[in-house]
Amino acid sequence: MSYLTIVAHQMVNLPAGMVDKELRSLVKQETGLPVRRIDNFTLLSLLSVYRLVNQQSVKKTLSKHLSLYSVAEYLSIDLFQSVITDLQNNESIRPFDFIATVGNAANFYLAKEFSIKGPNVFVGASDLPFLKASLLADVDLEVGHCEQAIIVIWTQINNQRQCHAFIVEQTSKQDLSNLTKTAIETRKIDELLLQGENTLTSCIRPCIGPYIVECKL
């Protein structure tokens, strides 16, 4: 049995109907990152991870040895539709649009912009995304491939697009010895992810000290 500590969590929550141009403008204005030819799926993750790593408490403790694990049931639905439409109309597909239909395209941009040089994995999954990402992260943390892991999870609930970003690390022996209640199972985080905008945030942020999750199937 192993344990991970959630060091920080951030979520971006935007209307599903927001057009790409508006989202690009928002991300460009807040982050200063290059956003041309980037789909909304990737833009959401860039904004979420940017806010995550720029939290004051995170800046002091963020490791240079990071890994990345992201999970989604879908990629950019709008982008896929536009590519299919171009094919049906015998029109040329723009190279960057084609690249963005690959599952790990968002991971490429995240790793590039935030200097993530460790393991980099995208998982397509319709259930238990946090559990699956945590199990992968736990293995790489255990063998020393990274010191901290960033987990990114995309969801869509009630016409809202959400992107959650977490920083996790192995739980120290001291934190485990000081644990006064049972660690929450990773499955519980997945349950909270499905309950809407503020449920997960309100559950994690009031906790004093490390928020520990138990990694198990």
pLDDT band at 209 (very low <50, low <70, confident <90, very high): very low
DSSP code of residue 142: H
Give me the mean pLDDT over the 162-184 stretch.
80
What's the CATH number where 93 sits?
3.40.47.10
Question: So what's the pLDDT on residue 89?
Answer: 83
Which structural domain, as residue segments, surrounds residue 56?
A: 2-215
Residue linked to tokens 């559990």? 131
- Report the DSSP pairing between strands 148-157 and 66-72: parallel
154: β partners: 163
Question: CA 107, CA 199: separation in Å to the nearest integer?
Answer: 26
Burial of 80 (0-12, 13-18, 19+ CB in 10 A): middle
pLDDT > 70? residue 204: no
Element (H, E) at 7: strand 2-15
Distance set, CA 35 to CA 75, 121, 196 (Å): 17, 22, 28
Q: Which two tokens mark 30?
A: 């807040």
Strand bridging mode 120-124 / 2-15:
unpaired
What local confidence, expressed as pLDDT, does residue 121 receive?
93
pLDDT computed for residue 175 by the predictor = 77
pTM flag (> 0.85): no
pLDDT tens-digit map of 57-108: 899 899 999 999 999 876 555 666 776 787 788 877 665 555 555 567 889 9
Q: What is the pLDDT of residue 156?
A: 81
**Triad 171, 173, 175: Cα angle to 5°:** 65
Taking phi over 0 as left and psi of -120 to 50 as alpha, with beta for the rest, 8 belongs to beta
Task: State residue 180's pLDDT score.
Answer: 55
How many angstroms separate the CA atoms of 186 and 79, rounded? Answer: 31
When pLDDT is cut at 50, 70 and 90, the band that residue 173 belongs to is confident
Structure tokens at 63: 């490791």
Q: Tens of pLDDT along 119-164?
A: 999 988 878 999 999 999 999 999 999 999 999 999 888 888 899 9
Question: For the segment 12-66, what is each residue's pLDDT rounded down to a tens digit?
Answer: 999 988 888 899 999 999 999 988 878 888 899 999 999 999 998 899 899 999 9
- What confidence category does residue 206 fall into, taking pLDDT thresholds of 50, 70 and 90? very low
Q: How many domains does the chain have?
A: 1
